[in-house]
Structure formats: C-alpha cells, structure tokens
C-alpha cells in the first residue's frame, strides 16, 4: 500500500522518532524515559514513540506492536501474494477468512451503507485501469473507465466467518482506506496491554495514548495540500484517532484532478476537496471516513460528521478554503 503523507507529527517534525526529545508526560515522574521504534509496512515507515519507566518493558511493547502492524499488512496487502486480499482479488473467494479481515470488511459494509455507497472498497478495478493507463503515459479512455465502473458494487461483496466472495469475475477490493487505521487501533491496544500510558503512533494514520506533557495533548500538523512544506492547521489529539485523505500524494494528472480516491458514482476522482482530516473514536473509523468525506464533498460530509458520535472533520477545498465541524480541536498553524 502506498499512502498519502499529509500529516507531520507535532509542529512539522518529519518522523515520530523525533518525539523522544519532547517534555516528560508527567513532570512528577522523573523516572520516565523516551523510547521509539519503527518498521516498514503498507509501503511506508510505521513509527511508535512512547514514555515509560522500564526499558525492557518498553522495547517489548514496541516489538509486539510492530508485529501487529506487520500482521495487518500481510493480511490486507494488495501486492503480497499470500495476503487474503490478494487471493480474494485473484480467485474471487477465500475460505475461512482471518477474523481481522472479517472485522474490517464488516465495517466497510457499514460505512458503505452510512454513506449511500460513497465509500466502496470494490473500486479496485478503477485503480487498475488508471495505473495501467499511467504506465502508458496517458489517462484511461472513457470506455475503459465505464467497464471498470461496472464492476464496482459494494453489495457484491459477501463476508462471513466461513467465506468471503465477490459476485462477479473481475471485481476486486482495496483496503487502503481502512487497513492503516485498523493497524493503529491494534497498536494502541497492544501498547496499553503492555502497561504503556503515553505514546504516539503513526501507521499512516495517527493514534495516541496519554499526553506528552502534563495537561498538554499530542499535537499533529495538517499539511497544506498545495504547499506541502507548510501547515494548514494543527490538531490536538483528545483521545480520538486521526486520519487524513488527500488528492496529492498519489495522482494521475499534475493538476490533481485524477488521483487515487475514486467516486463509485462517476468512475473518476471526486472534484471538490483537496484533503479531509477526521477525528473519530477508532482509527478504523477515522481512516474510512476520511476517504468517504473526500468522495461525498463538504456539505454531505459535514452533515454526516455531525450525526456520528465523537466524529469531527477538517476539510480543505481545492481552492484552499477550510471548513470544520464545530468541535474539531483545531489550533492555529
């Protein structure tokens, strides 16, 4: 998976390893020390930074958490031949799917229902035709888009504990809009189980435990989609997880009109938003909703966010205008 890099950890730092220099999470705990670790997954670098009072326990927690990420990547990768997503796309069905896969597919269906199909993991045929055309130095022809679009149908995916199947030959799924958020959830749960109280996690989406200084939350910088060396805003993590989707990390035309997010209704990319940042109770929700909001556009996205408990959004239009839900914890950039 290749993911967009739209966020910089705390005031624009490029990697979470740099968080080790931050103030102690609790000034009364002089025994806390910074620890960090990273690994490769989803086509990017996954990072964990934490504070703890025991080096052995901290390193064990990081090792186990990174193993959780690797498990999700191996299960849901589009490119690893042994992944269940790869096998599903190749064969049209898999038997005895992994429970993690079933959980993510179940949420994908729920989100498709909530968004009237704006979120749809069966857009993989559209990705194929656009990447094939890009390899030829062009955009796909309208008839190729129409043929791929005919295979996009979230209702044609059946997922249960015994089998996952696709309704038509040629259909395919992508979990690039869910897997990294789900991995962040598993990492946070693993760290918590190891007794970690203060941590910041970057799996391509962000999650946190505790805080970095007494009374001060972890802060993330949201990059300007058209000036990637500048921030459009900063957001304070408040116990929720954060994800951003945007048009500029993986694109098929230099004007960002055609990019890696597809609108199932048109067979091409949505046209109004440059990025969507979402805070939600879980990384899985934040990841999926950020993709869905890109497709839905600002008005529908903001309306849905207001209906969902503990969900807030910051949306940046292609013209640079910013809209936020009333409770989004935005800070001045």
Give me the number of domains the chain comprises. Answer: 3
Please give the pLDDT value at position 215: 66
Return the minimum-mean-pLDDT range out of 45-59, 112-126, 209-223: 209-223
Which DSSP symbol is given to 288? Answer: H
pLDDT of residue 29: 60
Assign residue 120 the CATH number of its domain: 1.10.3980.10
115 lies in the same domain as 143 = yes
Please report whether residue 12 resides in a domain. no
Quote the pTM value.
0.91
- Backbone phi and psi for residue 109, each to the nearest 5 degrees, phi listed first: -65, -45
Q: Domain boundary at 97, 131, 166, which?
A: 166
Q: 202 Cβ partners below 8 Å, 6+ apart?
A: 7, 9, 16, 46, 47, 48
The CATH code of the domain that includes 315 is: 3.10.520.10
- What confidence tens digit (pLDDT) does each residue in 296-328 have? 999 999 999 999 999 999 999 999 999 999 999
Same-domain check for residues 94 and 48? no
Do 147 and 295 have their domain in common?
A: no
Q: Is residue 131 part of a domain?
A: yes
The reply to whether 171 falls in a domain is no
Average pLDDT over every residue of 22-51: 81
**Residue 20's pLDDT is what?**
33
* 264 in a structural domain: yes
Whether residue 244 is found in the same domain as residue 302: yes
Q: Residue 142 contacts by C-beta under 8 Å, 6 or more apart in sequence?
A: none
249 and 159, same domain (yes or no)? no
CA distances from 205 to 5, 32, 44, 134 (A): 9, 26, 11, 27
291 assigned ligand-binding residue: yes
Question: Looking at residue 26, what is its pLDDT?
Answer: 53
Whether 255 shows a pLDDT value over 90: the answer reads yes
Confidence band for 217, pLDDT divided at 50, 70 and 90: confident
| Alpha-carbon span 65 to 186, nearest angstrom | 7
Q: Are residues 121 and 266 in the same domain?
A: no
Q: Are residues 44 and 189 in the same domain?
A: yes
Mean pLDDT of 270-278: 97
Residues 304 and 251 in one domain: yes
Any domain includes 155: yes
Handedness of CA 176, 177, 180, 183 (dihedral sign): negative
Can you give the residue range of the structural domain that contains 205?
34-78+179-211
Q: In the predicted model, what is the mean pLDDT of residues 41-67?
A: 95
What pLDDT, on a 0 to 100 scale, did the predictor assign at position 216? Answer: 81
Let me know if residue 128 belongs to a domain.
Answer: yes
Residue 30: what pLDDT? 67
Any domain includes 42? yes
| C-alpha–C-alpha distance, residues 267 and 147, integer Å | 9
> Tokens 């993690």, residue?
100
26 located within any domain: no
Same domain, 140 and 284: no
| Range of weakest confidence among 18-27, 207-216, 232-241, 286-295 | 18-27
The helix-helix angle for 179-193 and 283-296 (nearest 10°) equals 160
Q: Tell me, what DSSP letter sits at residue 185?
A: H
Mean pLDDT of 59-87: 97
Mean pLDDT over each residue of the chain, to the nearest integer: 90
**Based on the domain organization, do 238 and 325 belong to the same domain?**
yes
Tokens 């938003």 — which residue? 273
pLDDT tens-digit readout, 88-142: 999 999 999 999 999 999 999 999 999 999 999 999 999 999 999 999 999 999 9
**Tokens coding 193:** 């189980």
pLDDT over 90, % of the chain: 84
**Does residue 144 share a domain with residue 124?**
yes
Considering the domain architecture, whether residues 223 and 287 belong to the same structural domain is answered as: yes
């Amino acid at each position: 998976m290749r993911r967009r890099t739209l966020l910089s950890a705390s005031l624009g730092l490029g990697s979470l390893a740099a968080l080790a220099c931050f103030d102690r999470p609790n000034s009364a705990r002089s025994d806390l020390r910074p620890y960090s670790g990273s690994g490769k997954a989803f086509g990017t670098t996954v990072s964990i930074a934490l504070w703890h009072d025991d080096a052995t326990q901290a390193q064990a927690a990081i090792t186990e958490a990174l193993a959780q990420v690797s498990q999700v990547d191996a299960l849901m990768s589009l490119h690893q031949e042994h992944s269940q997503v790869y096998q599903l796309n190749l064969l049209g069905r898999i038997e005895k799917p992994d429970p993690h896969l079933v959980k993510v597919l179940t949420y994908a269906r729920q989100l498709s229902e909530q968004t009237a199909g704006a979120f749809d993991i069966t857009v993989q045929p559209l990705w194929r035709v656009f990447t094939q055309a890009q390899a030829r130095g062009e955009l796909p022809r309208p008839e190729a888009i129409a043929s791929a679009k005919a295979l996009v149908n979230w209702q044609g995916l059946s997922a249960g504990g015994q089998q996952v199947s696709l309704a038509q030959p040629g259909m395919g799924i992508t979990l690039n809009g869910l897997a990294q958020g789900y991995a962040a959830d598993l990492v946070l749960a693993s760290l918590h189980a190891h007794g970690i109280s203060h941590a910041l996690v970057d799996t391509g989406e962000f999650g946190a435990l505790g805080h970095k200084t007494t009374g001060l939350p972890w802060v993330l910088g949201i990059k300007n989609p058209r000036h990637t060396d500048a921030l459009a805003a900063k957001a304070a993590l408040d116990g929720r997880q954060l994800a951003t989707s945007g048009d500029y990390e993986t694109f098929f035309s230099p004007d960002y009109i055609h990019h890696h997010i597809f609108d199932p209704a048109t067979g091409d990319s949505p046209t109004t938003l440059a990025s969507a940042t979402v805070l939600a109770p879980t990384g899985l929700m934040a990841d999926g909703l950020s993709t869905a909001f890109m497709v839905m556009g600002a008005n529908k996205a903001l309306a849905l966010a207001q209906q969902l408990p503990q969900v807030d959004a910051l949306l940046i239009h292609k013209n640079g205008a910013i809209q936020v839900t009333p409770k989004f914890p935005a800070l001045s950039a």
